[in-house]
Structure 1
Amino acid sequence: MTSLTRFALPLLASVSVLSMTAAHAEPTQELIDAAKAEGTLTTIALPHNWCGYGDVIAGFKAKYGLDVNELNPNAGSADELEAIKANMGNTGPQAPDVIDVGLSFGPAAKDQGLIQPYKVSVWDSIPDDAKDAEGYWYGDYYGVLAFGVNKDIIPYAPTSFADLMDSAYANSIAIPGDPRTGNSTMMTVYAAGVAQGAAAGGDALNAGITYFKDLKENGNYVPVNGNSQNLAQGTTPIYFDWDYNLLAMRDTLAGNPPVEVVVPSDAVVAGVYVQAISAYAPHPNAAKLWMEYIYSDEGQTLWLKGYCHPIRFNDMAARGVIPQDLMDKLPPAENYAKAVFPTLDEQAAAKSAIADNWGKEMGVN
C-alpha cells in the first residue's frame, strides 16, 4: 500500500474538483426499496460516543425507517472479524452486516474472504490511497494522536512530546493501556518515536519505547490505564488518546474541570478506520444503503460533529458544505496539515517491535 500522506496536505490543497453529480449522488430508489424490504441493519462495535455514532445511527434510522440491531458496541476490530467467521452460516441477529475496523484489518478481511465489494455513489471523492481499488474496504474517518490536559491541575499545557519530559509534569502522564494489545496506545508510543526523529516503522516504535522508558524513570509517566475519569479527578492530569475521544470528553466534562486538547507539535500521527460489508451479510441491501448514508455529506458531517475527520473532508471543504461552527471546535487546522499516516507495512513493523521490546524495556509482563 502507498503511504497515506495525501492527508498531510493543507485542508484545501490538492483537492480535485468533483462534478456536482458525483458530490451529491444519492442511492437509487431500487436500493432503498430493497433495503426497506429487509427491514434491519446489524452493526457491531459502534459505541454511541465514538465519532458521534449515536447521531449517525439515529440519522440513518430517521431517514430510511430501518431498524438497527447493534451488537457488542465495545468490541475491537479483531472481534468484528471473528463475529463474521462465527456466523458464516447464520442469518440471525448475531451476524453483522457491516464492520468498522482499523486500517490493517480491511486487507486482512479481504484476504480471508470475509467481506464483499461495494462502491458507494461518491466513490470518486474517497482518496485512492484510502480505499481498496476493487471496493472491498474503504476509509471512513481518521483522527490524530493527542493528549488532554486538566487545566485545573496544569494551567499551562505542554505542547509537545519534548515538553512532557519537564519535571513540572511529575506523576502526571498516562496512556490508555498496554500498547501490545491496543492500537491507539501502540500508536501513541509510535508517535513519541516520530517526535525523536526516528524513521517510520519499527525504528519509530523502538524510539518511542525509549522515550517512555525515560519518561518513567524521570517520574512523569504513571503506569496505569489512563482514562477520562483519572484525568478529570487529577490522578493522571495528562492523558493520551485519539483527538476525537479527547474532544468528546472535553465537551462532556463541560468545564468541570476545563480540559485543553493538544495535538503535539513535534509528531502528528494519524490513524484511519475503514468500512466494509460482510461477505455473509444477512441484510446486504441494508448494508449498502448504510454505506451510502455514512459516505453522504450528511453522514460525513455527523462524524465531524463527533470530532472524527471524515475521509471526504477535503471534497466537502472545497465545496463549502462544512458548518463553520464545527470547524471552530477543532484544534487549529495547521496541526492536522502536518499529519503523517503510517502505512500497513510500517504498522506491522511497529507491532512486531512493541511485542518484542515493550515488556522487557518497561519492566512489565
Structure 2
Amino acid sequence: MTSASLIVSIAMANAAQAADMDALVAAAKKEGTLTTIALPHSWCNYGEMIEGFKAKYGIEVNELNPDAGSGDEIEAIKANKGNTGPQAPDVIDVGLSFGPSSKAEGLVQPYKVATWDEIPDSAKDAEGYWYGDYYGVMSIMVNKDLITEMPKDWSDLLKPEFASAVALAGDPRASNQAISGVFAAGLSAAGGDAAKAGEAGLDFFKKLNEAGNFVPVIAKSASFAQGTTPVLMAWDYNALAWRDSLNGNPPAEIILPETGVVAGVYVQAISAYAPHPNAAKLWMEYLYSDEGQLTWLKGYCHPIRFNAMAKAGKIPQDLLDKLPPAEGYAKAVFPTLDEQKAYKEEITTKWDSVVGASVQ
C-alpha cells in the first residue's frame, strides 16, 4: 500500500467511525436517559463525570443508590430483568472479580469502545463483556485530631490506642472495597501468601472486633469527620478525595501500609437488560475518551488508559504533580481473577460466622 492510499484508508476509517459515533449519539439522545448505580460523586470524581456527560450530550442521568456495593449492583440487574423502569440500571462499575461472574450469568452484554486497543489485555474480556476502568490501592485514612500515633501497618490497628476507631468503607459481605480491605490485612498477616489471605483477613477482623477496636459502621467522609470512624480502610482515591473535601477539618493522613499493599481494578459493563442500551454505550465511550480518563485522574484514580495516554503526552503535568509519590505504590500486589474469586467467596460467606459483626 502506498503512502497516499494509506492516508486515504485512514481517512475513510475515521469518517466511518465519526458516522458511527453520530448515529450512536442520536440514538442515545432519543432514549434521553441513562440509569447508573453505586456512583458516589466523591468516588473517582464521578460527580464531575456525570455532569460532564449530561452537559456534552443533553442526556439525563438517573442515579440509583450511590452507596451500593458491587454485589448490590449485580442484584439490581437480576431483580430488574423484566423491568424497563427507573429502577433498572443500564451500566455497572464493579470490582474486577464481578466482571467474569456477571458474564457467566448472562447479566451483561458486549460492547467495545473506540479506544479499546489502549485497554491492557489483562484488564478486559476479549469479547468486550467487561473491561477495566481505573485502579487504586487499599490505604488507611486517619483522623489526626483523634489519633496521635499513626499506624504503619495493618497489625498496628490491633493496639489498644485504636479502641472503637477502625472501620471499613463498606459491608464486607457485599462491597468490593470492604472485601479488599479484609484481604489486604490478611495478606499482611499471611506474609504475602494470597491463598491464605482470606482466612487470615477474617481472623484479623475477629481479633480486631474482640479487642473492641472494630466499628461496625460503613465508613464515609461524614462519619470520619464526626469522629465515629476515625480510622478507616478505603481505596486511596476515595481517601484522598475525602481528605481534600474536608479542607483540614479534621486534618487527615493517608497511609499506605508497609505490607499487604493491595491494588484493585474496577470494571465497567453494560447490563444485558439495559432499558437504555444506546445511552449506556455512549456513556462507555465518554468514560474511555481522553476527557473521561482525565476526569477520573482528577479524582486520584489511575485510569486504565494511563500508560498509553502518558506515552502520548496527553496527561497535563499539573495532574501528574497531584498524584502521591510513585515509590509508595511499588509494593502493590494485583490479585489474579482466580485469587479474587477465592477470597471474595471466603470472606463474604464466612464473615458472619467468623467475625460476627454486622456492618451497616
Give aligned pairs, total. Answer: 342
Q: Distance in 1 between matches of 2:121 and 2:269?
A: 16
Match of 1:200 among 194, 198, 220: 194
Deviation of 1:191 after TM superposition, in Å, equals: 0.7
Deviation of 1:243 after TM superposition, in Å, equals: 1.5
Q: Secondary structure at the match of 2:29?
A: helix
Question: Does the 8 A contact of 1:126 with 1:311 survive in 2?
Answer: yes
CA gap of 1:40–1:160, structure 2 versus 1, over 3 A, is same
Match of 1:116 among 78, 98, 109: 109
Unaligned runs of at least 5 residues, structure 1: 1-18
Match of 1:303 among 293, 296, 299: 296
Q: Output one character per residue of 1:74-121: Cα deviation in whole Å (capped at 9) or x when no partner.
A: 333333333333443443433322222222222222122222111111
Question: Does the 8 A contact of 1:148 with 1:238 survive in 2?
Answer: yes
User: Greater relative contact order: 1 or 2 (C-alpha under 8 angstroms, separation 6 or more)?
Assistant: 1
Q: Does 1:247 align with 2:266?
A: no
Unaligned runs of at least 5 residues, structure 2: 1-9
- Paired AA for residue 279 in structure 1: A
Q: Distance in 1 between matches of 2:56 and 2:92?
A: 21
Match of 2:77 among 84, 89, 101: 84
Aligned counterpart, 1:222: 214
Q: Secondary structure at the match of 2:43?
A: coil
Higher helix share: 2
Deviation of 1:236 after TM superposition, in Å, equals: 4.1
Aligned counterpart, 2:340: 347
Question: Does the 8 A contact of 2:167 with 2:232 survive in 1?
Answer: yes
Question: Does the 8 A contact of 1:265 with 1:335 survive in 2?
Answer: no
Q: Distance in 2 between matches of 1:105 and 1:266?
A: 25
Aligned counterpart, 2:6: none
Question: Which has the larger displacement, 134-143 or 43-52?
Answer: 43-52
Aligned counterpart, 1:10: none
Q: Distance in 2 between matches of 1:73 and 1:176?
A: 13
Aligned counterpart, 1:12: none
Q: Output one character per residue of 1:255-312: Cα deviation in whole Å (capped at 9) or x when no partner.
A: 0111011111212112222111122323222221111100011101111212222111
Q: Secondary structure at the match of 1:35?
A: helix
Q: Distance in 1 between matches of 2:163 and 2:85?
A: 52
Q: Secondary structure at the match of 2:300?
A: coil
Question: Does the 8 A contact of 1:172 with 1:237 survive in 2?
Answer: yes
Q: Distance in 1 between matches of 2:158 and 2:79?
A: 46
Indicate the RMSD between aligned Cα atoms, in angstroms: 2.8
Q: Output one character per residue of 1:120-143: Cα deviation in whole Å (capped at 9) or x when no partner.
A: 111011111111000011111122
Question: Does the 8 A contact of 2:182 with 2:201 survive in 1?
Answer: yes
CA gap of 1:109–1:166, structure 2 versus 1, over 3 A, is closer
Deviation of 1:45 after TM superposition, in Å, equals: 2.3
CA gap of 1:67–1:146, structure 2 versus 1, over 3 A, is same
Q: Does 1:266 align with 2:259?
A: yes
Q: Output one character per residue of 1:201-224: Cα deviation in whole Å (capped at 9) or x when no partner.
A: 3x11222233334445566x2343
Identity percentage of aligned residues: 64
CA gap of 1:230–1:138, structure 2 versus 1, over 3 A, is same
Aligned counterpart, 2:98: 105
- Paired AA for residue 307 in structure 1: Y
Question: Does the 8 A contact of 1:45 with 1:73 survive in 2?
Answer: yes
Aligned counterpart, 1:59: 52
